[in-house]
Structure 1
């Protein structure tokens, strides 16, 4: 029963994560498709570039909720930390490879952050603080995201050790999704405000 419920929640998380907040919000505000303009990434930073703070803020909110709601539901249902980690990864995979949007998604940073709120609120606050500090110093969104997610397993170990492995799974996924950004950072070609 528990395994079947876990598989169901993983599937639900992927389908929920597949709802592209950036694309839908840009349509509502009459903006260009974020997959075709700016950085080409359907995420908060690119939506900000295209439409300003209001659509970007709504994109951020809904991307966070895409991770938070499935994990909170799984946590409420009493599923194990490992299953919670898989639910979180599934939500992020939905964001990265959205079923409803030709599998052209974003980087899943906000979705991963939302997935961490239900199980480790202190950790989520530590991650937010890290992102703000790194972005304030560097003005490069991708660098802030990479450093933040790299520290997630350490923060999990310090706050709730049972979630260290799930945090590592999320970190590995997001770092892999940022591999093109890593190359540009290494080459010194990564521009500010790029997600």
Structure 2
């Protein structure tokens, strides 16, 4: 049980590393004061360009993937594997390093889901791409993909711990996008420009 608790603590701390903030600061920008003010990959991309945005996406994704893979490597049960992913996700969304104000969790959730249910990620990624391609809204693609994950994971795996954590993460991703949802409804949300 000690190893499991240490893994969860480590996953949370890894998830708490504010990748976008650190990369933006290295470029001389406080990402919290530019664009949307969010520390995630979309705002970093819009503010600092493709390379820093992609680096943020990859870094945030790895924060979710590494704890899941570590738990699998250690031979933990589905419950602990799923909880390791959830801890990393919560670390990103509620980072201890920024007063428990983090990102929206999309890239970190992607990493968690890549470790838990890679086939489901392919399906959700297809949904994300289709929504963004037709609407040009990253937020709408993220929300739609998040909403799709629980039923897809339930259908493909049916393993209760994975489904449960997927539901929690999906709900939190959608919750963290509540301002985007308001802007989408008002027609004021920023569209993605490649």
- Normalising by structure 2, what TM-score? 0.91
Q: Distance in 2 between matches of 1:75 and 1:183?
A: 39
C-alpha displacement of 1:189: 2.7
Corresponding residue of 2:3: 5
Structure 1 position 140 matched with structure 2 position 137: yes
Number of residue equivalences: 191
Identify unmatched segments of 5+ residues in structure 2: none
Q: Report Cα offsets for 1:24-82 as digits up to 9, x if no partner.
A: 1112222x211111001111111111111110110011000000001111122222223
Q: Distance in 2 between matches of 1:176 and 1:6?
A: 28
- Residue 102 of structure 2, aligned match among 75, 85, 105: 105
Higher relative contact order (CA 8 A, sep 6+): 1
Q: Distance in 1 between matches of 2:129 and 2:34?
A: 25
Moved more, 97-106 or 36-45: 97-106
- Are the aligned partners of 1:82 and 1:165 in contact in 2 as well (CA < 8 Å)? no
Alignment of 1:96-175 (within 5 A): 96-162=93-159, 163-175=162-174
C-alpha displacement of 1:10: 1.4
**SS at 1:35's partner residue?**
helix
Corresponding residue of 2:15: 17
**SS at 1:27's partner residue?**
helix
Q: Distance in 2 between matches of 1:75 and 1:174?
A: 24
Identify unmatched segments of 5+ residues in structure 1: none
- Are the aligned partners of 2:82 and 2:116 in contact in 1 as well (CA < 8 Å)? no
Q: Distance in 2 between matches of 1:72 and 1:85?
A: 10
